[in-house]
Structure 1
């Protein structure tokens, strides 16, 4: 085989390898990166209400909105389990609402949460994972993400300070939140 032909074959193999790498990257990006957004999300709680059986004065109520197919849930599930362990004994009840039309189960560490089929007007949420918290008087105190950024931990969470304030009987009203983080669309996929 001539040196010129060997060089040509080498370049063709290199081009095929590059094409394979690029197609793998595009597949990965479409499958795992595009489903969630690092775009700013505006969470507004004007429309959210508790179901009639939970409305009114009582314990503090935290509602976790999640989509089983969203890769962003992985980052906050351990944090949510820590919140349950810390605040359940301090007068906080934990509920979960799954994105309508989705299928999945909460991990065993979150089985203590009660499942709600939905909340009135929950379809208007922009993204998940998200959380809504009602104070002991039944007023919406917070709606928005668990934190800002790609992952959620107690060090960057918005939730601990809000729950601490509510447990201490202080008033909180943070029902409009703009944040950038790991979110999956809720509105566009809800039916």
Structure 2
């Protein structure tokens, strides 16, 4: 009887441990490999469509927008790649970090440096204008105010596959006055974390 109880207790502990591992794996890895759910009120913004950005943006210069959420593991994983883009291309294009609230400014500054421009998009006007609904995402707007690229940084969440550095390849194409590249769904289908719902009703 006691042996049966011990076996039962061990089995319960093992099942509980496996369940915990499964939950952690889902929260930290598996769910970010699935496409982000498209919001019900989402309006797709097509490449070449004019984008209306806030007046604080210089409309005569091309813009590289990075949509950042410090609470999203995917945003943390691609931070090193973004820092390399900032170092290599900040003289060629205005690079701006877009966050959802004032609370995220300190984390963005710590991650990318005090010299980088950071904009708070409290009412999602920038994300809506660019057709962004998850983080991390990149949007490139050309000097005519038209959307040049909107999508993922890489097919790998760690940005280790150089052949699929979509945002970087699009940026290089813009700098070289080429047409917007066509990468397909791996680049344009959003992966990562949903935007925070609590930020919708806060005025910009």
Q: State how 1:1-191 maps to structure 2 within 5 Å.
A: 5-29=1-25, 31-33=27-29, 36=32, 38-39=34-35, 44-46=44-46, 48-58=51-61, 60-89=62-91, 91-100=92-101, 103=104, 105-106=107-108, 108-111=110-113, 112-118=115-121, 120-123=125-128, 125-153=132-160, 155=162, 156-172=164-180, 178-179=185-186, 182-186=191-195, 188=197, 190-191=199-200
The alignment's TM-score, normalised by the length of structure 2, stands at 0.72
* Number of residue equivalences: 184
Counterpart CA distance in 2 for 1:114 and 1:11 is 60
Counterpart CA distance in 1 for 2:120 and 2:53 is 12
Higher strand share: 1
The alignment's TM-score, normalised by the length of structure 1, stands at 0.76
Counterpart CA distance in 1 for 2:54 and 2:84 is 26
Stretches of structure 2 that go unaligned for 5 or more consecutive residues are none
Q: Please provide the CA RMSD for this pair.
A: 3.3
After the TM superposition, which segments of 4 or more aligned residues of structure 1 sit over 3 Å from their partners? 29-37, 40-44, 100-104, 176-182, 187-190
Offset of residue 186 of structure 1: 1.7
Residues 134 and 194 in structure 2, CA contact (< 8 A), matched pair in contact too = yes
1:173–1:128 Cα change, 3 Å? same
Which of the pair has more CA radius of gyration?
1
Residues 57 and 137 in structure 1, CA contact (< 8 A), matched pair in contact too = yes
Higher helix share: 2
Offset of residue 68 of structure 1: 1.7
Structure with more relative contact order (C-alpha pairs < 8 Å, separation 6 or more): 1
* Residue aligned with 2:165, SS: coil
Stretches of structure 1 that go unaligned for 5 or more consecutive residues are none
Counterpart CA distance in 2 for 1:173 and 1:52 is 28
Counterpart CA distance in 1 for 2:23 and 2:82 is 31
1:170–1:181 Cα change, 3 Å? closer
Counterpart CA distance in 1 for 2:161 and 2:31 is 25
